[in-house]
Amino acid sequence: MHPTLSLIIPMHDEAPNVASCYDRIRAVLDPLEEPWELICINDGSRDGTLAELLALRARDPRVVVIDLSRNFGKEAALTAGLDQARGEAVIPMDADLQDPPELIPELLVRWREGYDVVLAVRSSRASDSIFKRGTARVFYRFINRMSEVPIPEDAGDFRLMSREVVEALKLLPERRRFMKGLFAWVGFRTARVHYERPARQAGETKFNAWRLWNFALEGITSFSHLPLKVASYFGLLVSFFAFLYAIKIVLDTLVYGNPVKGYPSIMVAILFFAGVQLVAIGVIGEYLGRLYEESKQRPVYLVRKRYGPPGDNPP
Ligand code: UDP
Ligand code: MG
């Protein structure tokens, strides 16, 4: 029989969190008397995460372990979990207990009311560093101006999704998966539940500034072509002024003759526009690179071994 609820937890070097995470989840879910499964994806951990997970599984067969062949990143790990999940409702969570399991009953209530997606929205970002708060704000401003679908601010991957939503997500063929954007793109009836996001329980964050920056680029290039357009409009604008300036030079020459001047202005123009052109080429490169990645059609992740329910699982 299929479980009602599938929890998906991507894990990269989360050994100190495995046991406590399971205990907290169990304490919340068992009293609900619904069948559930806990899908843990070991995303190329270099610590004892896999051993911890297998020890858990030996005690509780509801724990499914998917061991990826290397570190594919959180988005890919999450995709692996979604492919594996069999539940009627699916909830991705972080291993560090920043997504409190105590919220799950509330998510289930809203789902039973008929919502397909129940977003867990953090009421404040107090547990984030000032740096992360600032950059997150700028990012959401930026992407929501540009993207075709609004990406809800202050909601992470922690949310409940119905089976229909998960099946819809599986239809999206892209290899570079900016999950937050894909979640938003599929739509469906959405409810919101607010919660206070605690600090990470143990270990440290896997997302340093460089990784966050690349994550942001991924999001922007996946959901907007605006950066490509900016170059063309800027080019048009510049051409317009260049045209006016050309007329002025011609008139000057006709009226005053040609007293060869203007070395500084030529240098400034050359340097400035060389810079602009390099930036524009860089922007095209970001898109082209992603197009290249997509065209290779490589799988999003590779499974080394699956320790999980036998039977009707996708490969
Ligand atoms: N994670 C992962 N693969 C990675 C990086 C992170 O599966 O390459 C997992 C990590 O184990 C955790 C979740 O993604 O369960 C969120 O990571 P983290 O808590 O470091 O992110 P933050 O909360 O700081 O944004
Ligand atoms: Mg975290």
Q: Write the pLDDT tens digit of every residue in 113-141.
A: 999 999 988 887 777 778 888 888 888 88
Judged by its nearest atom, the ligand closest to the C-alpha of residue 10 is: 1
Instruction: Indicate the top mutation candidate among 14, 94, 125 to test ligand 1's pocket, ranked by most ligand atoms within 8 A of CB.
Output: 94
- Closest-lying ligand 1 atom to the alpha carbon of residue 95: 15
Flag the least confident range among 8-17, 19-28, 218-227: 218-227
Tell me, what's the pLDDT at 196? 83
At residue 310, does pLDDT exceed 80? no
What percent of the chain is predicted at pLDDT more than 70? 97
| 71 vs 218: which has the higher pLDDT | 71
Q: Which residues neighbour ligand 2 (ion) by CB within 5 Å?
A: 94, 96, 98, 200
In the predicted model, what is the mean pLDDT of the chain? 86
| Residue 35: φ, ψ to 5° | -70, 135
Confidence of residue 202 (pLDDT cuts 50, 70, 90): confident
Tally Cβ neighbours within 10 Å of residue 294.
13
pLDDT by residue (tens digit) across 216-273?
888 888 888 788 888 788 888 888 888 888 888 888 888 887 767 777 778 778 888 8
Confidence of residue 164 (pLDDT cuts 50, 70, 90): very high
pLDDT by residue (tens digit) across 261-270?
777 778 778 8
Q: pTM of the prediction? A: 0.77
Burial (CB < 10 A; 0-12, 13-18, 19+), residue 235, is: middle
At residue 312, does pLDDT exceed 70? no
CB 98 within 8 A of CB 197: yes
Q: State whether CATH 3.40.50.1220 applies to domain 5-206+299-307.
A: no
Average pLDDT over residues 152-161: 86
Task: Tell me, using a 6 A CB cutoff, whether residue 94 lines ligand 1.
Answer: yes
Confidence of residue 315 (pLDDT cuts 50, 70, 90): very low
Tell me, what's the pLDDT at 113? 93
Q: What CA–CA distance (Å, rounded) separates 221 from 241?
A: 30
CB 82 within 8 A of CB 90: yes
Burial (CB < 10 A; 0-12, 13-18, 19+), residue 251, is: exposed
